[in-house]
Each structure stands twice: as structure tokens, then as C-alpha cells.
Amino acid sequence: MTAIENQTSNVQPSMEPILNVENLNVWFPITGGILGRPRGWVKAVNGISFSVQPGEALGIVGESGCGKTTAGRAILRLLPRGSAHISGHVYFEGQDLYALKSRELRAIRRHAQIIFQDPIGSLNPRMTVGAMITEPLLVHKIITRQKVRAHVAELLKRVGFDADAAYRYPHEFSGGQRQRIGIARALAVNPRLIVCDEPVSALDVSIQAQVLNLLADLRRELGLSYVFIAHNLAVVEHFSDRVAVMYLGKIVELGPAHSVVSHPSHPYTQALLSAVPLPIPDRTTGRTVLQGEVPNPANPPSGCPFHPRCPLATAKCRIEMPPIEIKRGDIAHTAACWNVE
Amino acid sequence: MPETPLLSVQNLQISFRGEDALVPAVDGVSFSIYPRQTLAIVGESGCGKSVTAMSILRLIPTPPGKIIAGEIIFNGQDLLKLPEKAMRRVRGGQIAMIFQEPMTSLNPVMTIGDQILEAIFLHQRLPARQAVKLAAESLRQVGIADPERRLGEYPHQISGGMKQRVMIAMALACHPQILIADEPTTALDVTIQAQILELLSTLKTKNNMSVLLITHDLGVVAENADVVAIMYAGRIVEFADVYELYANPLHPYTRGLLACVPRLSQTNQRLTTIPGMVPNARNWPTGCRFEPRCTDCKDEARTQCLSHLPILRQINERHWVATFSAPGYADAKFTLPGLPVRRNKTPATGRMGATD
């Protein structure tokens, strides 16, 4: 059985997607002058669309500034009100999150949780682990106070702690343990979707594997769906069924994880893959080192955002943004490039 | 004639003052670097790799840090015994260093040019005009376009990758014999990382330098190092030629590290893990420090692991290891780990790619 069959075994494609993002835009204003009027926009997320099936893990990969974190926050409507101009639709289980009133939104939040990159900054240092896990249970009125203790103990056990960890404070734990506390807190409200924003990039390699395995186990046991955001392609490929590659606010390639990695269509994906240093000491094979840097998102290039660094760029690329479309006859695999059939 | 090492560290021990006792950070580390060689020190946070690197330039803040014992021999003299004035000539002159965070290593209120010139004037007597020329030339060398204009800019005006290039330019302005690079690409994106690593390797060859590369990324190591030292809990647990190490890792920790990294197009779904976590330096096990997480030591061998700390021993021409479970360890002897650069680099024969 190949990895891809193995990983997609608990995805039910016939069902309605748990998350459906349609043409999502998040533009941050660049303000200036005394009146603080916007002088321009940073299009952090610029018209992205994707869906996540129940039980599926969708990976979003890209370099810093590509908009992956902003996209992760926007799909849970976590960006502070008024901080950005947001348009497009995010349907969670069929309901448009941006059309909901705050009370309705709170009810839905229960089913969609987030895990952050920084396991130190995302836990309140003055609350015990138990209190932190209890808080969402009481906010969402999931459980009565009498039953809280047993429930917390069960959650802690699930992520590999003894029940007495509930009485300790975050500083008493290591980075990997804190990340597991973050996972327990997210799980407390029985979510169906978890957005993981760089969940292992702050951890040491030997601890990364433990946390990734835990997330994979939870997915299998609880039927969770994930949006898995990371910059490390190997980690994203390992964890996800499908992968979206982002560059300057746009999805440039989207397809089954193993297909994106073994047959990348977009020149950016190819460059990204080529840049990953492999743990094999063989210096005979050269790599194509991508020249230049990611352009300033406040002043993006015309046409295809990748054209200034692209080895294939033609005159057309400088003028017109290519649509994201099926490449190489694989209906699951799409990319946005004029020069790839 | 056998080559002599450029720098050798012998039995280095460094502790930091904790709340009530001295906490060891580096505990008996020995290795040597040969000319034109890249030695990578690999380990997880807290293993002592950065402290080892900083101590070579005597950059450990004292107190709380203290070098308890050891020698660092460079060009025939012990750097740890050098008077501060002489040390200042070595620091940034013959041995230079670049850091993980180019954002915080540059002075935000000085122009890039002034910062490079400061380094140049500290080590060389040059007329100002010539120094500016040298500064511009060093920026050009690291691939910065229009260097004369960049000299007048401030760090906030340039990107992260560009800042690391400036750091490298500054470090190389005085033509050091050794460049210490402490996680030089950890804060950078992969495509920028590839650019910086390629640059470092080109400059190393061009300037005949040795590089001491501190990193946790086994991919970066495989593609850039000639020789690798794996550190765990303050000690080097394995030291070998890079081909030998990846083909035939002997320490269970090295094997665990190689196995637990997700790789592209790897088919098995579950990652191999190293159970447990790094022991606290206040409370290192008396025997082998990896014993609580080790899957190798079982039954009869275990008593030894629990009571005795295995020292690093040379088990073949290109391989040192500190584990009782390695074949031939019992008969092997301690020697100062270090491998001169081989003329024609060919992969060591062995189980290539086998990691578990």
C-alpha cells in the first residue's frame, strides 16, 4: 500500500467539505499621514480557494511572508476586527463564518480550533494547565463543573501526561510538552477541524517526531480534519493528504501531497523542493538555487508574482496572472503557471 | 607529511552558575579542525554546541559562565591563556564568527558601511579610502549588488537574507583562517538558506578557510560538512567523516536523529521517535547520559550503561563513538578526534543511506 492510499483512507470524498474557502482576500492597509488613511494595501492573502474534506489533512506550505499564517487565522475569523479588509467566503460545515453574528460564531468556534507555533507565548504563564484546559469547557458549556476534573485528566492522558500535570504551570514543562498542552486545550471542546500553525517548527527534531505522531494518532482516532501550515516541505508532505503551495498571497500549486512533491508543476514548487537540504552526503547532484528574494508584498510584481525569479518567465508572465488549473491531466493536481501544460 | 590541526579543543569543561550550584554545559569536549575543512557540530538545544563555539572566541559571559578546564590550541597557543589584548586580535581577525540572528547581531543605529569599517580598522592599518574600498569589495564578494550604495544603508533597510550576507562580509573582511557559523541559516527561508550555504561554500574554497558549522539540521550537515561531531548532554557522542557517519551511524542517538526527521517522498506513515527527552543538566544520569532514552542497551549490557559514562573512543580510522554498544568499542582507545581533509573525496563504502 502506498503512502497516499494509506493516508487518505479515512477521507470520505463523497461528503460535503468541512471547510470551503472561496476567493479569500485579506488585505492589510498601509496607513500614513495625520489622518491615517490607507495609502496602499498589503495583499497578504490574495484570492485563494480550497476545500478540506472531513478527515482530511490539507497542508499549506510557503516561505515567510507568503500569507500562510494570515490565511490560517482568516479561515477561523481570528483576525482582529478592522485590522484588515477581508473579502470572500469561508464556509465551515456549510455556514459562512463571515456572515455570522458573534454569538453564532462562538458556537461554531467550538468545532474549529487552532494550535500555535510558539508553545511558550500561547499559554498563559499564570494559569495552571488544568485551568487552561477547563476554560474552554466552561465557556462553551460543554461539561458541568463536577465532571471537569475527570475530563481534564482524560485529555491529559490522551496527549501523554499524568493527571497531576493539571496542577502545574507552563514554565514547568519543556517546549514539546507545552505544545502537547496546547493540543490538549484545542481538543478539550471536541473540535472537528484544527488549524495547526507551524506546530513543530519551534521544537527540536527528536521532539518534532513525537508531536507529529501524536497529531496523526488523534486524527485517526477522532476523525479530525487539519489545516496544517508549515514552511518545511518534508514535514507538510509527511503529514498532509493534499498540499497547497503559497507564494505572495496566492496558491500557486495544489494537489495530492505525494504528487506535488514527486511531480511538482510550478517552477516555484520545483525550486522550493530543490532547496531542501537532504540528509544524504552526496555532492554529485547539483541544485538549482533560486536567485533573488521574495518581492515586497506591498508592491508586488505585475502578472505572475513569481516571474522576477522564475527561470521560465516569458513576456506573458509579466502582464497576466495565470489561472490555477489542471496540469498534466491529473484532475486532483492544479497549478498556476502559463508555461506548464 | 601529516597535516597538523588548525585548531584543537581538548577536554573543554564549561559550567554556568545556577541558583544553588554550578550547572555543567560542556563536559569534556575534544576535537580538532584541519585547514580548509568544514566541521559540523550537531545537536539539539541545550547540548552545549553553541557554548563550545562561543568559548573558542572567549565570548562566554563570565560570570555566570566559567571555563573549568581544557585547552583551545590555535596556531600553537592556548587561546584560554592569552591576554585579553592578544585575544582581541584573534577575535574577528584570525577567527571570525557569524550568528543565528542577523537581525539582532547588527547595530540598528549604525550604517552597514560603518559596521564593516569598524571591523576593518580594528585589525588593519589602512587609509580610510582604501578601507572603504575593501568594505565595498567584501560586500561584492557576498553577492550584494551596488555595494557602494549599500554601505550607506541601515540594517532595517535590507532583508534577513541580505543581513546574513552583510554579517558574512563583515566576518570575512579580515580574511580569517576559521569562520565559526552558529546556526547561520536557521532563521532564513529554505530558498535563501540555499543561497547562503552556497555562498559560504564558495567563499570557503576561495579564501582557504576552515568552517566550524553549528547546526541542528542534518540535511545542512550532509550537504556542507566534511566532518561531523554529534553532541548530546554536553559531550560529543560520535565523531566521523560525513560519509562514514551517514552510512554507518553507530551511536543510538545519531541513529535516532537520522530516523526521526521526515524526508521527502518517504512512504512509511509513522515517524520513528526517540522516546523521552534530553535530561536536565542539573541532574545528568551517572552512567551513559543517553541511557534513559536508549533502545540499544538491554539486559546484561545495561548495568554498565547505568554505572559508567562511556568516553569517546576511536573505533576505526575515520570514526569515533561513545557507546558501549558499538562493535569494537571495548578494545578501542581514546584519541583526539580530528580528520585531515582527504585529497579526493569519495564516498566511504558502506551501507549508504541506511539509517536504522
> What is residue B187's predicted lDDT score, i.e. its pLDDT?
78
Half-sphere exposure of B230 (CA within 13 A, CB side): 28
Tell me the average pLDDT across B298-307.
75
Strands B22-33 and A95-96: unpaired
Query: Given B223, B272, B274, which is nearest A283 (Cβ)?
Result: B223
Contact B194 A274 (CB under 8 A): yes
> What is residue B348's predicted lDDT score, i.e. its pLDDT?
43
Name chain A contacts of B161, Cβ cutoff 8 Å. 293
3-class state of residue A14 by DSSP: coil
Q: Which residue has the cell 477561523?
A: A76
Contact A206 B193 (CB under 8 A): no
Residues B259-282 have pLDDT tens digits of 888 888 776 578 888 888 788 888
- Which grid cell is A27? 488585505
pTM of the model: 0.85
Tell me the average pLDDT across B331-346.
77
Pick the residue from chain A with its C-alpha nearest to B232: A206
Tell me the average pLDDT across B107-135.
90
Lowest mean pLDDT among A88-92, A109-113, A294-298, B166-170: A294-298
Query: Given B190, B197, B257, which is nearest A205 (Cβ)?
Result: B257
- Min Cα distance A320 → chain B (Å) is 25
- Min Cα distance B198 → chain A (Å) is 8
Tell me the average pLDDT across A152-177.
87
In a mutational test of the A interface, the residue from B213, B255, B273 whose CB has the highest number of chain A CBs within 10 Å is B273
pLDDT beyond 80 at B320: yes
Contact B271 A291 (CB under 8 A): no
Q: Is A203 on the interface with B (CB under 8 A)?
A: no
CA atoms of B262 and B283, how far apart (whole Å): 31
In this structure, how many other beta carbons lie within 10 angstroms of the beta carbon of residue B172? 22
Strand partners, B77: B74
Tell me the average pLDDT across A120-135.
89
Contact B93/B146 with Cβ under 8 angstroms? no
Q: Where are the alpha helices (DSSP H) in A159-226?
A: 175-187, 205-222
> What is residue A3's predicted lDDT score, i.e. its pLDDT?
41
> What is residue A12's predicted lDDT score, i.e. its pLDDT?
52
At A285, the pLDDT band (50, 70, 90 cuts) reads low
In this structure, how many other beta carbons lie within 10 angstroms of the beta carbon of residue B118? 15
Sheet containing strand A225-230, edge to edge, reads A112-115, A193-197, A225-230, A57-61, A242-247, A250-256, A334-335, A325-326
Half-sphere exposure of A231 (CA within 13 A, CB side): 18
Name chain B contacts of A7, Cβ cutoff 8 Å. 269
Share of chain A above pLDDT 70, in %: 95
CA atoms of B104 and B93, how far apart (whole Å): 21
Q: Is A289 on the interface with B (CB under 8 A)?
A: yes
Q: Give this complex's ipTM.
A: 0.80
Closest CA to B270 of B281, B259, B278: B259
Tell me the average pLDDT across B303-307.
82
> What is residue A14's predicted lDDT score, i.e. its pLDDT?
57
Name chain A contacts of B269, Cβ cutoff 8 Å. 3, 6-7, 216
- Min Cα distance B127 → chain A (Å) is 34
In a mutational test of the A interface, the residue from B159, B221, B270, B271 whose CB has the highest number of chain A CBs within 10 Å is B271
- Min Cα distance B346 → chain A (Å) is 9
Closest CA to A248 of A26, A40, A66, A42: A66
CA atoms of A271 and A63, how far apart (whole Å): 12
Angle (deg, nearest 10), helices B252-260 and A205-222: 50
pLDDT beyond 80 at B37: yes
Name chain A contacts of B256, Cβ cutoff 8 Å. 206
User: If phi over 0 gives left and psi between -120 and 50 gives alpha, with beta otherwise, what is residue A198?
Assistant: left
Contact A213 B223 (CB under 8 A): no
The dihedral formed by the CA atoms of A283, B210, B239 and B22, expressed in degrees to the nearest 10: -140
Q: Is A296 on the interface with B (CB under 8 A)?
A: no
Contact A216 B269 (CB under 8 A): yes
- Min Cα distance A152 → chain B (Å) is 23
At A39, the pLDDT band (50, 70, 90 cuts) reads confident
- Min Cα distance B61 → chain A (Å) is 25
Query: Given A6, A213, A261, which is nearest B265 (Cβ)?
Result: A261
SS3 annotation, B232-299: ECCEEEEEEEHHHHHHCCCCHHHHHHHHHCCCCCCCCCCCCCCCCCCCCHHHCCCCCCCHHHCCCCCH
- Min Cα distance B62 → chain A (Å) is 26
Ranges of beta strands (E only) in chain A are 19-32, 37-52, 57-61, 85-92, 95-96, 112-115, 193-197, 225-230, 242-247, 250-256, 325-326, 334-335
Pick the residue from chain A with its C-alpha nearest to B264: A234
> What is residue B96's predicted lDDT score, i.e. its pLDDT?
92
Report the amino acid identity of residue B156: H
Burial tier of B63 (Cβ tally within 10 Å: 0-12, 13-18, 19+): exposed
Tell me the average pLDDT across A102-115.
89
Angle (deg, nearest 10), helices A175-187 and A129-139: 20
Q: Is A2 on the interface with B (CB under 8 A)?
A: yes
Tell me the average pLDDT across A7-28.
77
In the stretch 214-273 of chain A, residues with CB closer than 8 A to chain B read 216, 231-235, 237-239, 258, 261-262, 271-273
Contact A279 B263 (CB under 8 A): yes
> What is residue B352's predicted lDDT score, i.e. its pLDDT?
36
Contact B243 A276 (CB under 8 A): no
Tell me the average pLDDT across A94-118.
89
> What is residue B40's predicted lDDT score, i.e. its pLDDT?
96
Tell me the average pLDDT across A178-196.
91
Name chain A contacts of B276, Cβ cutoff 8 Å. none
Residues B58-84 have pLDDT tens digits of 998 888 888 999 999 998 899 999 999
CB under 8 Å to B60, separation ≥6 — which residues?
B14, B51, B54, B66, B67
Residues A240-269 have pLDDT tens digits of 999 999 999 999 999 999 999 999 999 999
Name chain B contacts of A216, Cβ cutoff 8 Å. 269-270
User: If phi over 0 gives left and psi between -120 and 50 gives alpha, with beta otherwise, what is residue A86?
Assistant: beta
> What is residue A57's predicted lDDT score, i.e. its pLDDT?
95
Contact A282 B347 (CB under 8 A): yes
Report the amino acid identity of residue B192: I
Contact B265 A262 (CB under 8 A): yes
Name chain B contacts of A234, Cβ cutoff 8 Å. 261-264, 266
CA atoms of A213 and B271, how far apart (whole Å): 7
Contact B269 A278 (CB under 8 A): no
CA atoms of B279 and A152, how far apart (whole Å): 27
Contact A281 B44 (CB under 8 A): no
Mean pLDDT of chain A: 87
Tell me the average pLDDT across A96-124.
88
- Min Cα distance A142 → chain B (Å) is 33
Tell me the average pLDDT across B114-118.
91
In this structure, how many other beta carbons lie within 10 angstroms of the beta carbon of residue B68? 14
Strands B65-74 and B77-78: antiparallel
Name chain A contacts of B162, Cβ cutoff 8 Å. 293
Which DSSP helix (H) or strand (E) runs through B181? Answer: strand B178-182
> What is residue B235's predicted lDDT score, i.e. its pLDDT?
94
Lowest mean pLDDT among A4-13, A134-143, B195-204: A4-13
